[in-house]
């Protein structure tokens, strides 16, 4: 089944404790991105990647890191989480280029709480 998976789905952590949220897709998509969803603010892009070893900042990259060592994986790293990073996080992928662009496939979401 074609899908985007994220782990963990729920995470409660404390300020300053490094964490990683994994994202994996099995559709051989070039393009992957991370969003955070907050009430009243909608979806805001954190980072995106157009292909392996190619990443760039989205609209709200502060406090986050990403890597794209393999095509299928795009982990989100919070080196020193803070309470304002409490949010619902979504990973997404799409085929990129001119093939049905912009139809992004989303993961199930990771609800992160930083105390």
Partner 1 sequence: AQRVTQPEKLLSVFKGAPVELKCNYSYSGSPELFWYVQYSRQRLQLLLRHISRESIKGFTADLNKGETSFHLKKPFAQEEDSAMYYCARPYPGPRATNKLIFGTGTLLAVQP
Q: What are the residues binding partner 1 (CB under 8 A)?
A: 4, 31, 33, 35, 40-45, 48, 50, 58, 90, 92, 94, 96-98, 101-109
What is the closest distance, in whole angstroms, from the C-beta atom of residue 87 to partner 1 in the complex?
A: 14
Which of residues 76 and 81 has its CB atom nearest to partner 1 in the complex? 76
Residue 109 near residue 91, CB atoms below 8 Å: no
3-state secondary structure of 85: helix
Which of residues 102 and 115 has its CB atom nearest to partner 1 in the complex? 102
Which of residues 23 and 81 has its CB atom nearest to partner 1 in the complex? 23
Name which of 2, 15, 56, 13 is nearest 33 in CA terms.
56
For 45, other C-beta atoms within 10 Å of its C-beta total 17
């Amino acid at each position: 089944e074609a899908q985007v998976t994220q782990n963990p789905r729920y995470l409660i952590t404390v300020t300053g404790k490094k964490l990683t949220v994994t994202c994996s897709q099995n559709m051989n998509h070039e393009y992957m991105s991370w969003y955070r969803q907050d009430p009243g603010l909608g979806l805001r892009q954190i980072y995106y990647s157009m292909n392996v070893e190619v990443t760039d900042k989205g609209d709200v990259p502060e406090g986050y890191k990403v890597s794209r060592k393999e095509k299928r994986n795009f982990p989100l790293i919070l080196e020193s989480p803070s309470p304002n990073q409490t949010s619902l996080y979504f990973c997404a992928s799409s085929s990129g280029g001119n093939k049905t662009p912009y139809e992004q496939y989303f993961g199930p979401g990771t609800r992160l709480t930083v105390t």
